[in-house]
Structure 1
């Protein structure tokens, strides 16, 4: 690590470099830039897709191997290197139990040796190049697998050695990831504290803190990155227009001062002419000499009136421009605030995200206690969502969630709040609603959802959900009420799904 700089200095330089390079401040970009400045290795992400492809190609011969493949799938979903290793070792042990005899020696089936080779070649880059011992062991493993027939006892010994080293490396990577996340949270939180006056920036900071909360997924990070880029573009445009509007205000103020000066000069000139005419009138001896002097006074007065009228029109025009510019500045600040709100919304369904839900829940609880009125909340979970994804794909699954959110919003009151709690779970806040009324509202939503079929191509898909409803009790926190609603939702699932239960 770069010993000449403190972590605080490295973090500050990282942020400056991201700004200079116009690089979005996503966790992945921040980690890569920070590691580069600090001289730390940039840990590769967990290779979920290649591992799933390899697992998909493995052939099972008995129920035990089927079970180990299921364990492997779950371990990949948890991004657990230890689980992947244990599942594969158990799977290989099952294969070794059914090895063929080749020339009097036991050997692995050639197709399994090829797949193991592909697996090792896919896993190797994810562990980095720092641990030379792992690299040497992997090279030995590949050499054994390339021999025909494969020396099974030697392979088993090398795999056992690799298991311990890979487990240690995986634990170290997990610790590095946790430390980087902690550092990222600290820096992002510090930026938010230093920028309290800029509510639009605070909204982005809150959104970043939400998205970098474990468990991390590339999908969520990509969605947040796209959303932040959109917000940053809108903020750049609004800020540029704000600077232009302020410059226009400065020019209009200068013109206003110049016009006042001109009016003052005209007034002084008029006063001088009137005083001169008065002295001349005082010395007039004949009536016929009075007419030209009166004409001069009338002409000067008419000129002063015209000048005053013109100045009044100009000042009115300046006032109108100032008011229009002020209104535009107010609108620009509203746009910045609205852009910031995007960081509090789920980019897929446009419902509130967890951060937005926390803020809305705190607001509703404060209102409930102030008015001494009931507040109910519902936690609903889409039924059989995994089967829907497996059958039709994730795009259709995403479309189903968007459809559910749309139907829910169409049947909610303006005072109700919809938030995506995570995955296929949503929370609905219902102020001024008792437990019984909340249950009844969710049953009505279930009926409406049954009428509004979701279309995937030409196929109609019925979407249902199980829900738990809880009424906030005196002195209870929002998190406790959500836990009670979650338990009630679980009971609804156990009772047959597509049900609503109170908690």
Structure 2
């Protein structure tokens, strides 16, 4: 029953109740206490703000959805509960509309196709060798999955679950193997660096260590490792042969020196014996009183003198021979040492073209940068890439491709200045170090090389093959190192490729 109190009285009592019950004076608390004092029930406030947030995420793609979304906007604007009820019922009825008929059993896929299951099983089997034996769990999951996929008609749902579990575990195993490879590579490089540090006086071993350092520099490829292995085997063979000959020559030298010392000792002994004999004869002569006593002593002195002279001539001849043999052995050892140096130098050169490899290029670049800074001289580097090299390999064969690279290297060495240094940077890429060269001069030098190549065809089975290249040229600037110059030269080379090939771009 409604209260007979006036609205002002109801409001005063409402405020008193708020204070007595110590409630926050919010609109909801005031409305609830007002209804309590008045004995009435107020209609709830229309939730316009909340409904507008809901309207922003409700789908409205189909015509029915768009119509209902318009009605919802009307209900919010007019704060009409009746319209809002109709909208909610309408959305509920959308879910009760007839659904599409299920696919026939003949077209619904409940099992993996045989070919797909077999390919997945092979993929799992081929993945395992790269993971090692550290993670037993991933091998167990792989075995279970491989067995399951080879069963007749494996269910799709089970395959999805097992593949998910395996791929999750596989990601961890792959990360572990990648970390292990990086750690092993770092350890190998430490070993090689220590070998190089401990072999400063042993050039042949030092050369091998530097080659191994270059070989263990990422990125690693099987072709690159095969090339390095072949080169190292050849270097090791030559170094071993030269090392054995050097050791043999050194042993012979020691034998010669021992013989020389022995002959000197014999000369000393002969001289001492002669002196003793002379002193003895002199003493006996001084004591002689008759001439007939002196004559035998004189004959003895003459015989000793003749023997001493003969012994001296023989010994002098032997010493002269020993000296000549020693000088010959010295020359042989120097020659062998030079052979060792040449064998060691092969570890810094590309075996195909004879140009520097990346290790040799890095060393040469460091030297040239240091020299350029000391003398305040310009220094440029050019990165060139043979155009259409893949088509040469595909059409004429890899042997012809290798011969084309040799031809390019030979022409480059003939055309460039003696102080310019050529290095094979990788595949069909070459780098040329240009000391005392400004950027504009470096571009002109590369263009001159391009023109020269157009006049010197590469011949393959009497077929003329024109070799061209795209190049980028960069000048080493300030305190920046070779890596920055190579990066800029590579960008210039890439731009030359994109703008038509057989071009030179200054970077």
Give the TM-score, by structure 1 length: 0.70
User: Taking structure 1 as reference, are residues 344 and 495 closer, same or farther at Cα in structure 2, changes over 3 Å only?
Assistant: same
Following superposition, the deviation at residue 455 of structure 1 comes to 5.0
Aligned residue-pair number: 403
Residues 224, 347 of structure 1: 8 Å contact kept: no
In 1, Cα distance between equivalents of 2:460 and 2:312: 72
Deviates further, 323-332 or 101-110: 101-110
Query: Which segments of 5 or more consecutive residues in structure 2 lack a partner in the other structure?
Result: 1-102
Aligned: 1:414 with 2:418: yes
Matched, 1:357 2:361: yes
Structure 2 vs 1, CA of residues 191 and 279 (structure 1 numbering), >3 Å: closer, same or farther?
closer
Task: Provide the rounded CA distance (Å) in 2 between the counterparts of 1:284 and 1:488.
Answer: 111
Q: Structure 1's 334 and 102: CA in aligned 2 closer, same or farther, altered over 3 A?
A: farther
Name the counterpart of 2:70: none
Task: Give CA deviations for 1:112-132 in whole Å, capped at 9, x if unaligned.
Answer: 444444333322333334434
CA distance in 1, matches of 2:146, 2:293: 123
1:211 aligns with 2:206: no
- CA apart distance, 1:177: 0.8
Choose 295-304 or 229-238, whichever is displaced more: 295-304
CA distance in 2, matches of 1:153, 1:391: 50
Which protein has the larger Cα radius of gyration, Structure 1 or Structure 2? 2
Query: Are the equivalent residues in 2 in contact too, given 1:144–1:151 (CA < 8 A)?
Result: no
Contact 2:132 2:177 (C-alpha < 8 Å) held by counterparts: no
Q: How does 1:227-238 map to 2 (within 5 A)?
A: 227-238=231-242
Match of 1:223 among 205, 227, 234: 227
SS in 2 for 1:197: coil
| CA distance, structure 2, for counterparts of residue 294 and residue 440 of structure 1 | 94
Q: Which residue of 1 aligns with 2:344?
A: 340
Query: Does residue 310 of the first structure (1) align with residue 314 of the second (2)?
Result: yes
Shift of 1:192: 2.2
Please give the alpha-carbon distance, in whole angstroms, between the structure 2 residues aligned to 1:469 and 1:361: 15
Q: Cα RMSD over matched residues?
A: 3.2
Residue pairs, 1:414-493, within 5 angstroms:
414-454=418-458, 460-493=464-497
Structure-1 separation of matches of 2:340 and 2:210:
15
User: C-alpha offsets along residues 446-484 of structure 1, whole Å, 9 cap, x if unaligned?
Assistant: 233334444556655433211122333454433333233
Unaligned runs of 5+ in 1: 1-99
CA distance in 1, matches of 2:250, 2:105: 85
Instruction: Determine if contact 1:102/1:149 at 8 Å carries over to the other structure.
Output: no
Structure 2 distance, partners of 1:206, 1:476, is 25
Deviation at 1:108, TM superposition (A): 5.4
Q: Which residue of 2 aligns with 1:500?
A: 504
Tell me, in whole angstroms, the C-alpha distance in 1 between the residues paired with 2:147 and 2:281.
Answer: 117
Higher relative contact order (CA 8 A, sep 6+): 1
Normalized against structure 2, the TM-score is what?
Answer: 0.70
Give 1:372 deviation, angstroms.
4.5
Please list the CA deviations of residues 217-238 of structure 1 after superposition, one character each: whole Å capped at 9, or x if unmatched: 1222222222222222333233
